Structure 1
Amino acid sequence: MVRSAASVRALRTRLSATLAPPLLAALLAAGCASQAVGPGETADWKPQTPNAPAVYPSESKMNNEQGQVLLRVLTGPDGRPTRVEVQKSSGFNRLDQAAVDAVRRWQFKPLPQDGTITWREVPINFVLAPVNAEMPK
């Protein structure tokens, strides 16, 4: 169940008089979570905007290198990456490294402030735009 910010504030106000702050925080986090994530499961990987996209290496463009890099990203409770690994390579080291470099600087959706860290799977696509054979008239 997803709650609006106003309903969360109202609930927090009603409960704060009767519950200790740590218990209140745990209840609010549980009630507002959009989906439960168990240990070892991948959480919502979507980064918060505006995260800079991966830079397509110019040498890879010249050599027509394309592919998808699948990264495993370990994030802390604040949503900052603490470890980035290539789970599945694009087949090109330059593309893999460009993906890792970009994601290391990203900010992901924070998790509940209970010290939770989680692995996320992040696909990064490197695709060259097709060159049109015909010029517009």
Structure 2
Amino acid sequence: MTPEYTEIISVRVKAGSRTLYVDLKETPDGSRFLSISEVKHGADVRSRILIDEQYVPDLFWALGAVLDFIAPKRAAKLYTLEEKRRTHPRAYEAWTEEEDQRLKAGFAQGLNVDQLAQRHGRAPSAIKHRLERLGLSPKRS
């Protein structure tokens, strides 16, 4: 019989034709572990790595070292979701059909990216990406 795990947090990362899930889970006895799963789109194929809680800091140190090596400018821009939502309250929330319609309407009215970002509580980069996804060409702000 498989023990029941409590999921504490789950984060989904799109990676091309795959999706990665990074989950922190807790066992009934209170021990925690990190689970990193890879799912290929359109298939049930999964790869999973389980890391005991005590080794997670070492893993993140190693990932940070790799990130510093491959993207030093980007590494300096790391932030928490809470920090991001201080300036953009709806950061990383799912877009709704209603919000897409309001975004399209604002775009049609000639609002620029910064104005749309303010109106939607999102970062200008999120507005640009969403407009592109909706087939609209964002104006420079």
Q: TM-score, normalised by structure 1?
A: 0.19
The structure whose RCO (Cα within 8 Å, separation 6+) is larger is 1
Q: TM-score, normalised by structure 2?
A: 0.18
Higher strand share: 2
Greater Rg by CA? 1
